Amino acid sequence: MTRKTAKDFDPEVLKLFDKYLHGQLSRRGFLDGATKFAVGGITAAGLLSALSPQFAEAEQVADSDPRIVARYIEIPSPQGYGTLRGYLVKPAKAKGKLPTVLVIHENRGLNPHIADIARRLALDNFIAFAPDALFPLGGYPGDEDKARELFPKLDQTKTREDFLAAAAYLKALPEGNGKVGATGFCYGGGVTNFLATRIPDLAAAVPFYGAQPNAEDTAKIKAPLLIHYAGDDERINSGWPAYETALKAAGVKYEAFVYAGVQHGFNNDTTPRYDEAAAKLAWQRTVAFFNAHLRA
C-alpha cells in the first residue's frame, strides 16, 4: 500500500489536525470540521485515522537490537515531581566515554516514536536519554488521545525542573564525557529552547519547530543552536523573527533552517506529515552538529 503524505490531504484538514494535536480543537471539533473534506468514501474519522501515528511501520531500530543497550531508569528530581522516569539507550560496544543527548518528546509523552529516536542516536554513538514527562500521571498511556488529554494536567514548572534534572543526570553520567546536548520536537523543541536559557554549560541545542523564549531569556543562552522549522507552520514560525533578533542581539551562535513546503512535525516518520527529504537532511545536520560540539 502506498504511504500517504501531506499532499494527499487538503491543507485545511492539515490545519484542523494541527489544532487538534495541540489542544486547540477537540476530537469532535476536528471531525465536524473535516466532514466537508470527507469524499470518495472516506469519512472524517477515516481522515483522522489516516493522519494518526503508525508506530510499528515506522520503527527503525528495535528495542531488542543487539547494537544497543536500552533500559528504563528512574532518577531523583527534587525540584520537579520528585522522581523522573526515562529511557536510557547506549551503544552496545561503546569505547571510552561518550557524549550524551537529552531527547524531548512532543505533547504526548514518551511514545514509541521518541523511544526510536533515542535508539537512532545510540547507533550514531551517543548515549541518549528520553524522559517521560507524563510519568507523574502514570506515564505514556499507550494511546495518543489519552496522552494528549493527560498532558495539560501537568504542572509545567515542575515538568521543566524534571528536564533540568535529566540534563544534570547526563552531565554526571560516569559513561558520559561530561558534554550534554538536547534535542526536541514541537513541545520538546520549546523545552530545548528553554533548557538553553537555563543551563549555561549546555554544549549544543537542536530544537525542531519549537516555541521560542522571550528576549530577556534568550540573552542568557550560551549554547550553540541548530534550529529547524517547517515552511508551512505559521503557528510556530510567527515567533521566529523576534527570536532571531534576540539571538543576534545577544551574540548567540546559531544556525537556522526553514524547510520549504513541509508541515509542522515533518521529522516524525509515523504520520503523513513526515517529509522524507527534509527529515533526512535535518537529521544529518543534527548528528553532524552534535558530533562537532559534543565530542572531545
Decide: 168 and 161 in contact? Cβ < 8 Å: no
The pLDDT value given to residue 24:
85
DSSP-derived 3-state class of residue 269 = coil
The pLDDT value given to residue 21:
84
Give buried/exposed letters for 124-161 (b at 16+ CB in 10 A, else e): ebbbbbbbbbbbbbebbbeebeebbebbeebeeeebbb
Whether residue 296 has pLDDT greater than 80: no
pLDDT tens digit sequence for 197-255: 999 999 999 999 999 999 999 999 999 999 999 999 999 999 999 999 999 999 999 99
Whether residue 162 has pLDDT greater than 80: yes
Decide: 75 and 169 in contact? Cβ < 8 Å: yes
Decide: 87 and 62 in contact? Cβ < 8 Å: no
The pLDDT value given to residue 92:
97
The pLDDT value given to residue 90:
97
The pLDDT value given to residue 3:
73
Alpha-carbon span 136 to 82, nearest angstrom: 9
**Least confidently predicted of 32-36, 102-106, 148-152, 245-249:** 32-36
Whether residue 68 has pLDDT greater than 80: yes
Q: What is the 3-state secondary structure (H, E, C) of 136-195?
A: HHCCCCCCHHHHHHHHHHCCHHHHHHHHHHHHHHHHHCCCEEEEEEEEEECHHHHHHHHH
**E strand or H helix at 117, and its extent?**
helix 112-123
Q: What is the Cα Rg of the chain in Å?
A: 19
Decide: 206 and 182 in contact? Cβ < 8 Å: yes
The pLDDT value given to residue 1:
45
Whether residue 164 has pLDDT greater than 70: yes
Domains of the chain, CATH where assigned: 6-51 (no CATH), 62-294 (3.40.50.1820)
Whether residue 100 has pLDDT greater than 70: yes
> What are residue 209's phi and psi, to 5 degrees?
35, 60
The pLDDT value given to residue 43:
86
Joined grid coordinates for residue 233: 507552520
pLDDT tens digit sequence for 173-191: 999 999 999 999 999 999 9
The pLDDT value given to residue 138:
97
Count H helices, E strands: the chain?
Answer: 12, 8
In this prediction, what percent of the chain has a pLDDT beyond 70?
A: 99
Whether residue 2 has pLDDT greater than 70: no
Highest average pLDDT, of 27-41, 120-134, 263-277, comes from: 120-134
Return the number of other C-beta atoms located less than 10 Å from residue 175's C-beta.
12
Whether residue 53 has pLDDT greater than 90: no
The pLDDT value given to residue 114:
97
User: Rounded to the nearest 5 degrees, what angle is found at the Cα of 110, between the Cα atoms of 104 and 111?
Assistant: 120
In this prediction, what percent of the chain has a pLDDT beyond 90?
A: 78
Alpha-carbon span 6 to 2, nearest angstrom: 13
